[in-house]
Amino acid sequence: MTECRYPLKEKEKELGTWTTNIIISDAGCYPVTLTITNINLIFHGKFEMSLSSIIDIARFETHGIDHYMIIARKNITKITPRKSVFNRRITIMTCDNNEFIIDCCMHSIDSILEALK
């Protein structure tokens, strides 16, 4: 398992890191490294930084050359897993009704779901 490159806060604890895709409604699909902590979901990828004007609930930060999208766990209202033979996804709904889809393709989503508990 890789380690998160995002500078975690003092009381923030990494629960796991995975390579996956994030699908953002009306904004596209991005390959990312997802890190789940006890406080945030941290997506490290090559984001179009103009997304910050579209998505209110997520924070977009740049550290050096790295771009991050951060969703606070407290803003998540619903988590819906979907498993099929060729596609495994987790849909995350936030309090402002934004939908984010963690697309794991054919890889297991069980460890991500466990970290999201």
The structural domains of the chain, ordered by start, are 27-116 (2.30.29)
Q: What is the pLDDT of residue 9?
A: 85
> Quick one: pLDDT band at residue 52, thresholds 50, 70, 90?
low
Q: Is 74 helix (H, G, I), strand (E, B) or coil?
A: helix
Distance CA 88, CA 73 (A): 21
At 13-38, the pLDDT tens digits run 999 999 999 998 877 888 999 999 99
Residues ≥6 apart with Cβ < 8 Å to 23: 29, 100, 101, 103
Task: Quick: pLDDT tens for 70-113.
Answer: 999 999 999 999 988 888 999 999 998 889 999 998 888 999 99
CA–CA gap between residue 65 and residue 9 (Å, rounded):
20
pTM of the model: 0.86
Triad 29, 100, 76: Cα angle to 5°: 160
